[in-house]
Structure 1
Amino acid sequence: MGGSALHFLQHEHAFPRMPIPVYRNLKSRLYPVIQGLYSHVIVPIEAPEKKDYGDLDFLVYSPKTDALRHGDAKINVSHDSVKDAIGARHFIPADGNRTSNFAVPVSKGEWATLGYEDEEEANRKKVEDGEIYYQVDVHVCADKAEWDRIFFFNSYGDLGMIMGLVAANIGLHLGSKGLQYSHPPHRRIDLSDNFEEIAEFFGWSMETRNAGFATRQQVFDWVTTSRFFDASRFRTQGEGIRKVKPQRTMYSDFVEWVGGLRDTFTSLTDEEKKQIVESARAEALEHFGKREEVESMVRNFEARKRMKDVFNGVSVKSWIGAHQWQDVKSVMDRVREQHGGDEGVSTLLDTEGEGILQQRVLEAFRELKIDK
């Protein structure tokens, strides 16, 4: 979400920001059109106190049968069908469950009917041919679960990204796919994709959130109710925190506001901050029932690493004497075959030790009758 995806069109001013009545009029006009193409359509809840909009976002899934007559996939209505339906002139297509961007021309005098004639004319004068457009984004979701998650994460403007910043401060990753546990060099572990559960873990009241926010300050205050929020140790950049575009003003305002809170919190040492993060990460694993999975992953990783450090071409070559590398490979393949692949060799190393592994290598060498 976010405007200006179609910046290649003529001029940067070809997509002016929409005053609130213009945005609402566009949404009410196109909503039933998109509903004619997809069974489930929704627009993320807008950020409070917005003065204008850069684009209009639709989240959709489950294309209607009639709309699929000219479709290109089970998930997507064809881009041309959407383009024709909403009256777009240009589009940037994206297949599958992702966002396509459409440029819908603003009809001459369209804003005038809403009291914004001067603004429309001023925007037209900024582009050479006088043509201005609405950017309409259609994000196709694979199923209702994804539809719900993306709606949650993208509602109330930058709130989802701000929540993600809180999560990053305790060493976790929160995005539209849910909450994840990062543990380089290992793969990320999915903790939960249920935002009700995630909010409960962080201490955020879903009842308050679902009631809505009238101001940005209410959003900021809600974020700080998390039991993991502490302005004194709050990072806005560094490891685990991605850079955010300057136009994310709500996010930037939150960061600035938190900076002003720091004097009201007790300063902590770096070691104390580290302990808090480690404790929160451990609690997350326990809370979502993922501790054993992570511990098993680490054990397997360490076992594979140890196996590779011991059972490799250089070591095996030294054990069997000077031979061609092809001979070394043949011996290693024989040992793997006899012990159930790399996993079996790793288990042998862990249970019997390096000496027994070396013995198995020499036995395989003799069985293959490779000449020295």
Structure 2
Amino acid sequence: MGGSAFGSILQPTAFPRIPPPIYQALKGSFLSKLQEFYECVGVPTEAPEKLDHGDLDFLAAIPKAPFTDSSVPHECIRDAICATYMNPMEGNRTSNYAVPIKPGAWAEFGFAGLEHQCRKDVENGEIYYQVDVHVCYDKDEWDRTMFFHSYGDMGMILGLISRNVGLALGVKGLKIPDPPNPPFDLSEHFEEIAEFLGLSMQRYNEGFETKRDVFEWAASIRFFDPSQFKSQGPGISKVKPERKMYAEFVEWVVAMRQEPSQDQTDRLSRQDLRAPTRDVALAFFGKKGEFEALAKARSDRLKLKGCFSGSVVHDWAEMGGYWKGVKLIMDEVRARMGGEEGILKFLEGHSENDLKKAVLQVKSDLGIVISPEVLQAEEQAPLLMPSSSTSGTLVGEIVVDMKELAMASGKDE
């Protein structure tokens, strides 16, 4: 039911369910008013077989003059649609408006009695339409949101099926879940995504008359295996109870699993179901190289953290809490080996123990000697060291007499 955004000031019954003929008339009226302010305005196609509506949802993008360089003020929308109350949200979010229903407005549609009953259910007899306006960042986001929110819970159903085959599909496109790392983007374009998933956009554009039509189209995803279907578990978000179409789809899949059709049997025997979905997706979208490069970069960072971190070098060189010395050693090792990439290359042909020997050699070359005087000097003054290096090999030398620096520091006192 509409009105959830105004629970603090209006009764839930102040927002009655809207009969389809009235809903269609209102949609056209509000659409024309919103088009005065935005280049792109639309309503996602409603769920099939819907008997009534709780509110009116509009998607908008690209403000018209004089608001081309800013956002359209909420007050302009409020006044244009004659709303009494509003719940404004800044940026690319959904704002809510409560538009009063004029007495007798439903009579011309043959619902005078229903309107009368709805008014009796409210203390003051005042009833409203809830109009939600979601402002998209640009045309691309508008297109994606229009698609994903069409036909009721269709987008959520596609998202659930995608999760079942190891992918993540949402308003922002198709991704590969890669926990604990961020999801990896495959595509933001639903035409391209539909082609990959084996979904017929021609069938989608023809429209769906029933929920069963939507279910069958969604379940035609080429990787979908009803026998392995799950609606709960890791990576699958919980869904609100009011998402009845979503729940009906889950029940439909369970029933379909018990009596698979010949088409399902043929589809499940295809080769692409035996291939890892991730690999097929990366190849289709041309993202394999990028994905592997990111994976390698993460692996390299972990490898360096495990064998060339400050704590590791500190322990190898027995620095006794002398962290400035640790930094000097690490900087010189990087300089001599050609940065962290050089260190990783070194580790490809050598062991961690060889790296430890290199660290100890650099400590010796720098002349770092740990003593109470050195630690005291570090506490009293910053240590500025020159640096010289050669590329590729552990050659070259920087000689630093730490004892002399400590003694000099003591004389200054």
TM-score when scaled to structure 2? Answer: 0.80
Further displaced range: 329-338 or 276-285: 329-338
- Partner of residue 357, structure 1: 355
Contact 1:320 1:365 in 2 (8 A): yes
- Alpha-carbon deviation of 1:310? 1.3
Say whether the 8 Å CA contact 2:334–2:343 is kept in structure 1. Answer: no
**One-letter code aligned to 2:363:** F
For the pair 1:28 / 2:40, whether they are aligned, the reply is no
RMSD: 2.7
Q: Which residue of 2 is the match for residue 220 of structure 1?
A: 215
User: Is the 8 Å Cα contact of residues 43 and 59 (structure 1) preserved in structure 2?
Assistant: yes
1:256/1:351 CA distance change after superposition, 3 Å: same
Query: Quick check: 2:314–2:326 contact (8 Å CA) kept in 1?
Result: no
Alignment partners' CA distance in 1, 2:303 and 2:3: 50
Contact 2:174–2:187 (8 Å) recurs in 1? yes
| Equivalence map 1:174-185=2 (5 Å) | 174-185=169-180
Structure with max Cα Rg:
2
Shift of the 223–358 alpha-carbon distance from structure 1 to 2, 3 Å rule, reads same
What is the 5 A alignment of 1:63-82? Answer: 63-66=63-66, 68=67, 74=69, 76-82=71-77
Aligned equivalents of 1:359, 1:186: Cα separation in 2: 34
Partner of 2:161: 166
Q: Is the 1:42–1:60 contact (alpha carbons within 8 Å) kept by the matching residues of 2? A: yes
Q: For the Cα contact (< 8 Å) 1:75–1:97, is it kept in 2?
A: no
**Superposed displacement of residue 331, structure 1:** 3.4
Residue identity opposite 2:188 in structure 1:
D
Rate the CA distance shift 1:332–1:196 in 2: closer, same or farther, 3 A: farther
Which amino acid in the other structure matches residue 229 of structure 1?
Answer: F
Aligned residue in 2 for 1:128: 123
| Amino acid across the alignment from 1:185 | P
Q: Write the distance in 1 (CA, Å) between the matches of 2:167 and 2:109.
A: 46
1:48–1:320 Cα change, 3 Å: same
User: 2:5 is matched by which residue type in structure 1?
Assistant: A
Q: Which of the numbers 267, 287, 290 marks the counterpart of 1:290?
A: 287
The 5-angstrom pairing of residues 215-294 of structure 1 reads: 215-265=210-260, 279-294=276-291
Return 5+ residue gaps in structure 2 as ranges.
371-413
Query: Which segment drifts farther, 80-89 or 335-344?
Result: 335-344
The residue identity in structure 2 corresponding to 1:156 is Y
Q: 1:225 to 1:101 in 2, by over 3 A?
A: same
**Cα distance, 1:159–1:336 mapped onto 2, change above 3 Å:** farther
Q: Distance in 2 between matches of 1:326 and 1:131?
A: 72
Q: Which amino acid aligns with 1:10?
A: L
Aligned partner of 2:134 in structure 1 is 139
Q: 1:83 to 1:345 in 2, by over 3 A?
A: farther
What's the counterpart of residue 56 of structure 1?
Answer: 56
CA distance in 1, matches of 2:341, 2:122: 64
Alignment match, 2:192: 197
Distance 1:360 1:167, change over 3 A: same
- Point out where structure 1 has 5 or more consecutive residues left out of the alignment: none
CA contact (8 A) 1:40 1:62 kept: yes
Please say which of residues 76-85 and 102-111 is displaced more in the overlay. Answer: 102-111
Give the match's secondary structure for 2:137: coil
Equivalent position of 2:321 in the other structure: 324
Residues 334 and 364 in structure 1, CA contact (< 8 A), matched pair in contact too: no
Displacement of 1:30 in angstroms is 0.9
Per-residue deviation, 1:365: 3.5
Q: Is the 8 A contact 2:100 2:126 kept in 1?
A: yes
Please name the residue that 1:311 is paired with.
308
- Partners in 2 of 1:341 and 1:95 — Cα distance? 46
Inter-partner Cα distance in structure 1 for 2:101 and 2:239: 30
How many angstroms apart in 1 are the aligned matches of 2:51 and 2:14?
19
SS in structure 1 at match of 2:186: strand
**Could you tell me how far apart the structure 1 residues matched to 2:112 and 2:25 are?**
15
Q: Is the 8 A contact 2:81 2:99 kept in 1?
A: yes
Identity %: 46
Give 3-state SS (helix, strand or coil) of 1:18's partner. Answer: coil
CA distance in 1 between counterparts of 2:19 and 2:333 reads 68
Q: For residues 178-200 of structure 1, what are the alpha-carbon distances to aligned partners after superposition, in whole Å with 9 as ceiling and x for unaligned? A: 11111112221111112112112
Deviation for aligned residue 1:246: 1.2
Tell which has more relative contact order, 1 or 2 (C-alpha 8 A, sep 6+): 1
Structure 2 Cα separation of the partners of residues 128 and 340 of structure 1: 78
CA distance in 2: counterparts of 1:336 and 1:78, whole angstroms: 58
Deviation sequence 1:115-141 (CA, Å, 0-9, x none): 222222322333333332211111111
Conservation of the 8 A alpha-carbon contact between 2:2 and 2:15: no
Correspondence for 2:43: 43
**CA distance in 1: counterparts of 2:130 and 2:274, whole angstroms:** 41
Counterpart check, 1:16 vs 2:16: yes
